[in-house]
Chain A
Amino acid sequence: MTNHARLRAIAPPLVVGVGGLALWELVLTVLNPKAFVLPRPSVIAGKVVEQWSTIITATTNTGFIAVTGLIAGALLGIMVAILVSRFQIVSEAVTPLAVAVNAIPIIALAPIFNFWFGLRSPRSNQGIVVLLVFFPVFVNSVRGLTEVHRGQLDLMESFAASTWETLKEVRIPNALPYLFTSLKIASSLAVIAAIVAEYFGGDQAALGQLIVQQAALSRYSSAWAGVLAGTLMGMALYLVVVGLERWFMPWRVTEIERSGS
């Protein structure tokens, strides 16, 4: 990408973002509603600076839960997807179960997980993240592993390739775009799941707890500072996934650049 093209890609969201914040600040200054309804961006930013170390600790703890849960849930989803795509019998046994698990309002399990793993243990929150991440990754991976071009399978068969070779050379690379689409969804989902699970228990020094406690004390701008930290974390995770996607699939980068030119 040339510098010009890079600027063209970055400028519109930047203008909308900065403009939106300015508008938010301006409207609230003019209308001047009670500060607890919706604080101005500058007040929220002030809170972030004021409570920097608390927010950093909470973000680190929540981030740990979101990232470990995301990795564990994704690995579980991928492994079960490989088994399901490989063995019809596993598919028949596991797929309805996975659908049933997905139908459970998983967040509602948080208090139960707290009881199982201990009210202050991060394990229960990780468990919620794993469950929530598992399904989109599993479903998309199965699709990518099974919706393979017929000609490519014929070709591997004509080379007398083994099932393992076909999995490694065709099915897994074919599944990568599907996998990364699901990981983009799952990365945001993991942060949401971690924070909401923390409302119910787990480590005290975490974003969910911070938001709940500050809101309970009517310190809404501090609660908003926690929301802001969660938002930035979700965006950061998403960008990491996008980076990994480009690194794992160099052939897609050329495709995107070609269609973008």
Chain B
Amino acid sequence: MSTSAPVSVAVEARAASKIFSRGKPNQVVALESINLSVRQGGFVALIGPSGCGKSTLLRLMAGLVPATEGEIFVNGKAADQARRDRDYGMAFQSASLFDWRTVTRNIELPLELLGWSKDQRSKRSAEMLDLVQLSDFGDHYPNQLSGGMQQRVAIARALSFKPSILLMDEPFGALDEMTREHMQAELLRIWEDTQTSVVFVTHSIPEAVFLAQRVIVMSPRPGRIVADIDVDLGPRGFGTREDPEFFNKITEVREALRAVEVP
């Protein structure tokens, strides 16, 4: 078996499975032979009902949990090696900011762990604050920010050390609809500015279609890929959400999801 993947591929899963409590009465097959390849600079959304293993797949890609069978490659390396090389940044549904650090120091946390000098860190965090449009809030503590602002800090932190890949697990799931649409536009702008590859887990169909170039639809128990839908809507803008093609794609994803629903 080959042990590497072409470098133009950001993330690749080869027949990856994840079984929890294997061989025990409470054994759960969370993922079953997942094959997926995300090209560099691509934006892929993973969507499916709760329990379909989409978050587990993301954790596999992050090297936070090992695959039971098969292999996961990130930038051509085993996922765990990529984690140790800091090849990706990660953002979660809860912003998971550190209450005890100011916004600036939250963004600088990964840089501190990487041993960057104080000057380099300040320069970089100022750039990142600018990127997420929070330059006036560097000295604030997270509990002084709104949910949307906290999530922007989390994205700035995930991108601060210039990883080539961004793994996001329902990052806007806890936000209200208006903040959410605003954040989606922000994320696309950042994605275009930074040329980062993004894998984005969501359970919102319009969110997946609006953001991604490819929507991967998953089925629950065991988690499998049941559809791989290309979304070609061009550069997104205000008009996109009213574009008939946008609705066509939403319908296509919805039908793919309906086919896997457990009655």
**Are A and B interaction partners?**
yes
A residues bordering B, Cβ < 8 Å? 149, 151-152, 154-155, 157-161, 165, 169-170, 173, 176, 249-251, 254-255, 258
Interface of A: prevailing SS:
helix
Q: Let me know if B90 is at the binding interface, CB within 8 A.
A: yes
Q: Are B98 and A255 in contact (CB under 8 A)?
A: no
With an 8 A cutoff between CB atoms, is B143 at the interface? yes
CA distance A79 to B96 in the complex (A): 27
Q: Is the CB of A155 within 8 A of B143?
A: no
Contacts of A173 in B (CB 8 A): 98-100
Known: A170-B98, A176-B100. A154 touches B143 (CB 8 A): no
Residue of B nearest to A156 (CB): B113
29 residue pairs bridging A and B, Cβ less than 8 Å apart: A149-B94, A151-B94, A152-B96, A154-B59, A154-B64, A154-B92, A155-B90, A155-B92, A155-B96, A158-B64, A158-B88, A158-B89, A158-B167, A159-B86, A159-B109, A159-B113, A160-B84, A160-B113, A165-B113, A169-B98, A169-B109, A170-B98, A173-B100, A176-B100, A251-B100, A251-B101, A251-B141, A251-B143, A258-B144
User: Shortest CB–CB separation between residue B109 and chain A, in angstroms?
Assistant: 7
Shortest 6 CB-CB distances between A and B: which pairs? A151-B96, A173-B100, A251-B141, A158-B90, A160-B84, A151-B92
One digit per residue, 1 when the CB lies within 8 angstroms of any chain A CB and 0 when it does not, for chain B 82-126 equals 011110111011101011110000000110010000000000000
Q: B62 and A158: CB pair below 8 A?
A: yes
Q: Chain B residues near A152: list those with CB within 8 A.
A: 96, 98
Q: Which residue of B lies closest to A251 (CB)?
A: B141
Q: Are B144 and A254 in contact (CB under 8 A)?
A: yes
- Contacts A158-B83, A161-B113, A173-B98 aside, 16 further interface pairs with beta carbons under 8 A come to A149-B94, A149-B96, A152-B98, A154-B59, A154-B64, A154-B92, A154-B96, A155-B90, A158-B64, A159-B110, A159-B113, A160-B84, A165-B113, A251-B101, A254-B141, A258-B143
Q: With A and B bound together, what is the CA distance between A258 and B144 in angstroms? A: 8
Residue of A nearest to B109 (CB): A169
B90: nearest chain-A partner, CB-CB:
A158
Contacting pair B90 A154 (CB below 8 A) = yes
A60 to chain B: closest CB distance in Å?
36
Residues of A within 8 A of B141 (CB): 250-251, 254-255
- Report the nearest B residue to A170, measured CB to CB: B98
Assess the B100–A249 pair: CB atoms within 8 A: yes
Q: Which residues of B contact A249 (CB under 8 A)?
A: 100
Q: Are A157 and B99 in contact (CB under 8 A)?
A: no
Q: Complex formed: what's the CA distance from A155 to B168 in Å?
A: 12
Contacts of B101 on A, CB cut-off 8 Å?
A: 251
Kindly list chain B residues whose C-beta atoms are within 8 Å of the C-beta of A155.
Answer: 90, 92, 96
Contact across chains for A160 and B83 when beta carbons are under 8 A apart: yes
Most buried by A among B94, B141, B167: B141
